[in-house]
Amino acid sequence: MSEAAILNEVPAQDKAPPAAQPVRDRLLAGCSLVARPVGELAAALPGATAVFRRHKLDFCCGGAATLAEAAAGRGLDPAAIAAELAALDPALPDATPSTAEGLIDLILARYHAVHRRDLPELVKLARRVEAVHRGKPGTPEGLAAVLERMQAELESHMAKEEAILFPLLRAGPDSPMASMAAAPIARMRFEHDEHGAELRQIAVLTGELTLPEGACGTFRALYANLARFQDDLTTHIHLENNVLFPLFAIGDMPDGSCRAMTAGH
Ligand SMILES: [Fe+2]
Ligand SMILES: [Fe+2]
């Protein structure tokens, strides 16, 4: 099967893309923050991603969930998080590019290149830690294998974006070429969900990056580098799922519409 055919092979349940549309236009129009998808809030409110990270709310692969749903999933009060979001300084400049061209340039330079630089070293560090500390409590056994698999999957994923999807998107949302992007976008969203599942697997294997007592320098370096990789991949997926792809959304919800709303918020 050709690379283009693989890219267009979209799992049935993913053929309808999640609700997505230019977020800035709809922000706060007609319903409260808790009824907004977290991915949309992360894209539209400068500073929101830091709030979501602090509360460990998934705003990249789980970005279609409303704030009410995401907070409930972690046993948190959505109104308290909404209050934190409302208190963010609206005058803070948003450094995220607004055009497809600008977003793609940022993604390639800041995320694709950095994953390619960092993942081989992460695999080496994980292998060394597993070999030296094998059998001891707190050793993340199986981590190197997960990272090796992610390295291969991310390389294939990024190569498809670079060779097929991004050239289509660079033409802009109004180009006739944009209509060809729907299936590849759905396929990339599906693969992002797989990457998100692997990030959760890493969190479990490492006890959310909890170092054992007396951890050596290599162990500390591994977890520090892993924290950076998790952060980078989360932001990378967020920029694609919640900022870039919505520029090309097909079948958007009407303006001001809200997803399933939790009564009382
Ligand atoms: Fe990417
Ligand atoms: Fe991607």
Residue 263: phi, psi to the nearest 5?
-60, 145
Which residues, including other chains, have CB under 8 Å from residue 130's CB and lie 6 or more apart?
Answer: 139, 140, 141, 142, 143, 144
Task: Tokens 């759905």: give the residue.
Answer: 186
Give residue 92 CA to ligand 2 midpoint distance, Å.
27
Would you say 8 and 183 are in contact if contact means Cβ atoms under 8 Å apart?
yes
Query: CA of 161: how far to CAs of 73, 157, 209, 241, in Å?
Result: 31, 6, 30, 13
Ligand closest to the CA atom of residue 61? 2
Nearest bound ligand to the CA of residue 195? 2
Q: Which ligand has the shortest distance to the CA of 194?
A: 2
Say how many Å lie between the first and final Cα of the chain, rounded.
49
CA of 230 to the centre of ligand 1 (A): 14
Cα–Cα distance measured from residue 43 to residue 85, given in angstroms and rounded to the nearest whole number: 12
Q: Tell me the pLDDT tens digit for each residue of 114-153.
A: 999 999 999 999 999 999 999 898 999 999 999 999 999 9
Query: What is the pLDDT, as a whole number, of residue 93?
Result: 66
Who has greater pLDDT, 177 or 110?
A: 110
- The pLDDT, as a whole number, for residue 250 is 53
Give 63 Cα–ligand 2 centroid separation in angstroms: 14
Are 169 and 181 within 8 A, CB to CB? yes
pTM reported for the whole predicted model:
0.79
Per-residue pLDDT reduced to its tens digit, 64-109: 899 999 999 999 999 999 999 988 877 666 778 989 999 999 999 9
- pLDDT by residue (tens digit) across 180-214? 999 999 999 999 999 999 999 999 999 999 999 88
d(CA 185, CA 138): 39
